[in-house]
A and B are shown apart, each in its own frame.
Chain A
Amino acid sequence: MSMTITEKILAAAAGKNKVEPGDLIDAKIDCIMCHDVTTPAAISMLKEKGIDKVFDNEKIVVTPDHFQPAKDIKSAELHKRLDSWAREKKIKNYYPLGKAGVCHALLPEQGHIRPGEVIIGGDSHTCTYGAFAAFSTGIGSTDLAAAIATGTLWFRIPASIKFVLNGKLSKGVYSKDVILAVIAKIGTDGALYKSMEFVGPTLKEMSMEARMTITNMAIEAGAKNGIIGFDDITKKYLDEHLKDKKAYKVYESDKDAKYEQVIEIDCSKLEPIVALPSLPSGGKPISQCAGMKMDQSYIGSCTNGRIEDLRIAAAIMKGEKVSIRTIIVPATPEIWKQAMDEGLFDIFYAAGCVISAPTCGACLGGFMGILAAGEKCVSTTNRNFVGRMGSPKSEVYLASPATAAASAVEGKLTDCRGYL
């Protein structure tokens, strides 16, 4: 019987030869991501219920990221609870401040993501790791608590939608534009409960960083997971990043695997896209929205805060001055260091940007760049819901790092292609 890559990974995790959409399974969990917002509650629940245990202290990765460095007393309390638990349980892969980074950039970079594995995290953008031919999905605190204690979790096997990405991206168009185009096409519930599988020649020209931007936003179409098959680009990244060199299992979708839908996208026709407020599905080509005045540009997050993103932004800002508040947030300490070593900070500084410590920060309206009523922000993040980055009367415009950088220079939504 034929299966998709998602079905194969989940079947293996459940010890079954075959699963199909709708089946309920108990899956063995290979890796659990824990951060400062959802994990402290999970820890308290476990203590309260008297099942205060950790199934495997080597399979849990802990990093504060949302409100770190602590933005206020309450978040400091969250960090304290997370820290004491991580130390008490001797969590092997704990990244406290100084090593901590935006979780979905940090885990792959530090070599915790392996193909064929089942990865969960107390964060909706956990679907990012699907770029590595793994099954990964976001869960809430109770599921997190259950998984921490038992190492298993129930899942319903999702039906799959295949997205075939064809054509070469033109200059100034990036993986962010591709995923914004996909979400604009199918809507924020276009893949509700489903698996989004991305295939096609366009991916072959994308780095792992660029691919992660695509799987990161699968949740913005309502998906359970986003996934991309294994290839030489995946292997090269893993060879450079995996610390544990034990063999991993590579699964591929069968040629006759069943898809609920197959959607073809001609990526060569795409232009830079901006998702207008207040849904990620509000994508419009830049030609239709250029010129709208902005108050802030934000370049960072688990979607676009990696080194490649900062390089793209810096290339545009080199020798330019920003005309609005511009905040650069390298997602991890390694990215921060690399950006500094490559001279990107000099470019950002000269252009008039501010550079933040790694944090989720203002992406979710936490701190480090909150918007006042009536303000508009062009942002490389993933959500533009009402009030997402501050006042419920502020607005967020989602875009690629290139678009956010060009818009920062001009102070209005700008076609980045004029700067390349």
Chain B
Amino acid sequence: MAKAHVYKRDHINTDEIIPARYLNTDNVAELASHCMEDLDTGFIKKCRPGDCIIAGDDFGCGSSREHAVWALQGAKVGAVIANNFARIFYRNCINCGFYPIELDGATEKINDGDEIEIDYKKGVIKNKTQKKEISFKPLPDFAIEIINDGGLLEHIKKGTAD
């Protein structure tokens, strides 16, 4: 069961998700060990595989560094659920096959520590702790296609093969 880590913050930026001092590598395990470090030094210790980050507006603003997504993936974060996302980060998520879930009022609907389960196909978050179901805006079809193909490059490869 995935646990929610709620940050009642807008504009959580790529410098907080993965500080630039660690951009001298693209090794995912190493990036993951510093995931969210400048926002919450305890994050990496408490995050279990599949856990989700919940935040406010404009998550992932700032740099185009895909390292931010790789750090989250490497830390085995299941998904980020936020009111909305910064443009490049959102695109990078899809390209890497990682789910950015847009949910208005995310930090009000989910509390820190809530046990949640996400049905990506149906577009539903089951909040087991609060015993309620929250539906979210599903990704556009083309984005789901890219994620299902395992990211943009696999998608392109498949296109070439077809």
Contacts and interface: CB of A to CB of B under 8 A. Distances in A.
Interface stretch (A203-211, A236-244, A293-301, A381-389): A381-389
B104 interface: no
Given A142-B92, A189-B57, A189-B86, A123 B156 contact: no
Contacts of B15: 364-365, 383, 385-388
Interface string A359-388: 000001110001000000000000101111
B112 to A, nearest CB: 20
A40 B24 CA distance: 10
A99 B86 CA distance: 33
Contact of B84 (A44, A67, A192): A192
A222 B61 contact: yes
B11 A188 contact: yes
Contacts of B13: 383, 385
B16 A138 contact: no
Contacts of B39: 386
Contacts of B151: 142
A213 interface: no
A186 interface: no
A392 interface: yes
A279 interface: yes
Interface centre among B25, B38, B69, B88 (most CB of A within 10 A): B88
Interface in B50-100: 57-58, 61-67, 69, 84, 86-88, 91-92, 95-96
A383 B16 CA distance: 12
A24 B141 CA distance: 12
B15 to A, nearest CB: 4
A219 B156 CA distance: 27
Contacts of A38: 64-66
B26 interface: yes
A140 interface: yes
A279 B16 CA distance: 12
A143 B87 CA distance: 13
Interface centre among B10, B16, B66, B142 (most CB of A within 10 A): B66
Given A51-B160, A150-B156, A388-B15, A224 B64 contact: no
B45 interface: no
Contacts of A46: 153
Interface centre among A37, A45, A366, A385 (most CB of B within 10 A): A385
Contacts of A383: 13, 15, 62
B20 interface: yes
Given A45-B153, A51-B157, A222-B86, A189 B58 contact: yes
Nearest to B142: A24
Interface residues of B, number: 40
Interface residues of A, number: 52
Interface in B141-161: 142, 151-154, 156-157, 160
A230 interface: no
A72 interface: yes
Given A45-B153, A388-B15, A192 B26 contact: no
Interface in B1-54: 10-11, 13, 15-16, 19-21, 23-26, 38-39
A146 interface: yes
Contact of A364 (B10, B20, B142): B20
Interface in A380-420: 383, 385-388, 392
Contacts of A66: 20, 23
Interface string B117-161: 000000000000000000000000010000000011110110010
Given A71-B24, A124-B88, 13 more contacts: A40-B26, A51-B157, A74-B24, A123-B64, A124-B63, A140-B66, A140-B91, A143-B92, A146-B156, A279-B11, A366-B21, A366-B23, A388-B15
20 contacts: A41-B66, A49-B157, A51-B153, A66-B23, A67-B24, A122-B64, A139-B88, A139-B91, A141-B66, A142-B92, A142-B95, A142-B153, A143-B152, A189-B84, A189-B86, A222-B61, A222-B86, A366-B21, A383-B62, A387-B15
Closest 6 CB pairs of A and B: A140-B66, A142-B95, A74-B24, A140-B92, A364-B20, A189-B58
